[in-house]
A and B are shown apart, each in its own frame.
Chain A
């Protein structure tokens, strides 16, 4: 799609230099350039406030004591009580909050890790082998992408209750492993980034198919794998309907469900509001750290889903 449009014959002169250097061409008035530049920056900065101000408010609120939360400006720091607040949060109700965080890490971390391996294997098989029924399998998986996960929550509950397994760790963990979109991404990425010649060469070297996948293909597919992992992690971490419908036992809750139940008790137990706010703040820190530290992977992998 690009080849016909490029103009290699003409010498590309200094690009991006504002007006002055290109006297032979219709000069763009520097004034106009400055205007569009400032307009663009204003849009960017205003959006930045929109996206970050609520998070800043959450941070500021979680550093305040209960009295100052209601009485001081929400965007300005007052006495810095963050660590004291966190200590109280972790101690409240025998440390149930820490338990919830741990549960979330387990549901999302282990779930996304296993889920990624499973999706990657399936996507790789669909990309790199020819077998009867391949397109059928792929189309069924694609159909799975379009099935809303929440529509499955109720029937999953009914099935788990048939075998008496609701209100267990597994009732939330196992369904979270399935990620059809991960298979789709892995297939696209494997077709594009794992050359057939390489697989042929490793076959000649006597490496088994499965070993080749876990050694060579895995390395080549790393950006896609990190992307799949991160987005499945987020999906499980954010999942609300399935735990809401499956779990009764508070000690099995993920942190989102735990904070939800606290927040719905605020009217009966007013002091719990502080814990809701600090708990909300603490709960988003792991995800922000994960995204920041892995950004060089997912930023390159994210676009691959839309490439046909």
Chain B
């Protein structure tokens, strides 16, 4: 609430032009404060403070005076970050979620887009039913979805035992994609609805004009609808990227179905495992690296699509 140089430009304040007194008053300053304070305090305590504290912790190292001396935390500069970059388990977990994201996010959003376009086309009957049916998995928490699919994948308990006895969905080579299927199953309907409601907001006259010009449904979808819902797709893509790097619940649950999921399978699992050692400072450094990577990737993606849209 500082920055005194910026004059509040209140367009509603009509009549006598504001006197140029040095004492500038923000209109309704008290109300603004009342509205912003609760969120501001909680945001500072449970968002900004943890970020700052994680950075602080990541700069410390534990030292002992001799072999049996009490552990003392001392400033260690970037020691923990060097340790993170040398930590092979962490980097293979990053590689794993990147491979996951490169495949799973486009597939999921592609399916969501196709289903949204079909729902929006005149070709489909029973739209209301389909819309809800596709959305049902979103009401299933990741932990529960993973438990459910864990049974569906298991060689002996699965109702698809003819398939699961042939293909081992829980083998080390395959388990990442089995998890990808669980995530896709949960989130396609949610992403579809975001794209679909964006399609609904396109004014109908646009289609009328295109139809009069003899455009087919496919052409309308490709040339008109998809370009107009790019902002919605961008939003879903960013959330999916964030979600992918955060992957935790599904693989953690799969650990009780298969030994192919290691305790450091994803970056967040690596953080959890490292903090349980306990090596809190290293885990904090991992958290910071992960948060920065997520932030950078979603930001870069946002800028990239914006530039493309401007061209």
A91 to B202, CA, bound (A): 53
The CA of A148 and the CA of B245, in the complex, are separated in Å by 8
Task: Determine the interface band of chain B, counting residues with CB < 8 A from chain A.
Answer: 35 or more
**Cβ of A7 and Cβ of B152 under 8 Å apart?**
no
Is the pair B208, A178 in contact by a Cβ cutoff of 8 Å? no
> Could you tell me if B124 and A264 are in contact, using CB atoms closer than 8 angstroms?
no
- Residue interface bits A143-156, CB-to-B below 8 A is 1, else 0: 11011111110111
For the residues of A in contact with B, the DSSP-based class is: helix
Q: Is the CB of B51 within 8 A of A147?
A: yes
Q: Does B98 contact A (CB under 8 A)?
A: no
In residues 18-67 of chain A, which contact B (Cβ within 8 Å)? 25-26, 28, 36-37, 40-41, 43-44, 47-48, 50-52, 54-55, 57-58, 61
> What residue in chain B is nearest A305 (Cβ atoms)?
B235
Contact A52 B133 (CB under 8 A): yes
Chain B residues numbered 124-158 whose CB sits less than 8 Å from any CB in chain A: 124-126, 130, 132-145, 147-152, 157-158
Q: What bracket does the count of chain A residues touching chain B fall in?
A: 35 or more
- 1/0 per residue, CB under 8 A from A, across B1-37: the answer is 1111010111010000000000000111111101110
Is the Cβ of A238 less than 8 Å from the Cβ of B142? yes
How far is it, in angstroms, between the C-alpha of A143 and the C-alpha of B291 when the chains are bound? 11
Q: Looking at the complex, which one of B57, B148, B275, B291 makes contact with A245 (CB distance below 8 Å)?
A: B275
Q: Total contacts A to B, CB within 8 angstroms?
A: 309
Which of the residues A148, A180, A209 comes within 8 Å of B294, measured between beta carbons?
A: A148
In the complex, the answer to whether B256 meets A2 with C-beta atoms within 8 Å is no
Instruction: Report B-chain residues with C-beta under 8 Å of the C-beta of A151.
Output: 54, 246, 287-288, 290-291, 294
A-B pairs, top 4 by smallest CB distance, nearest first, are A74-B159, A303-B197, A209-B31, A6-B205
Query: Can you name 7 extra interface pairs (CB under 8 A) apart from A131-B29, A200-B12?
Result: A5-B206, A6-B205, A36-B123, A125-B36, A131-B8, A174-B45, A287-B139
Chain A residues proximal to chain B, CB less than 8 Å: 1-2, 5-8, 10, 12, 15-16, 25-26, 28, 36-37, 40-41, 43-44, 47-48, 50-52, 54-55, 57-58, 61, 70, 73-75, 118-119, 121-122, 124-126, 129-133, 137, 140-141, 143-144, 146-152, 154-159, 174-175, 177-178, 180, 183, 196, 200, 208-210, 213, 234, 237-238, 240-241, 244-245, 256-257, 259-260, 263-264, 266-267, 276-277, 280, 283-284, 287-288, 290-292, 295, 299-300, 302-303, 305-308
Q: List 8 A-B contacts (CB under 8 A).
A: A7-B208, A37-B123, A58-B148, A132-B8, A157-B275, A178-B43, A240-B248, A284-B140
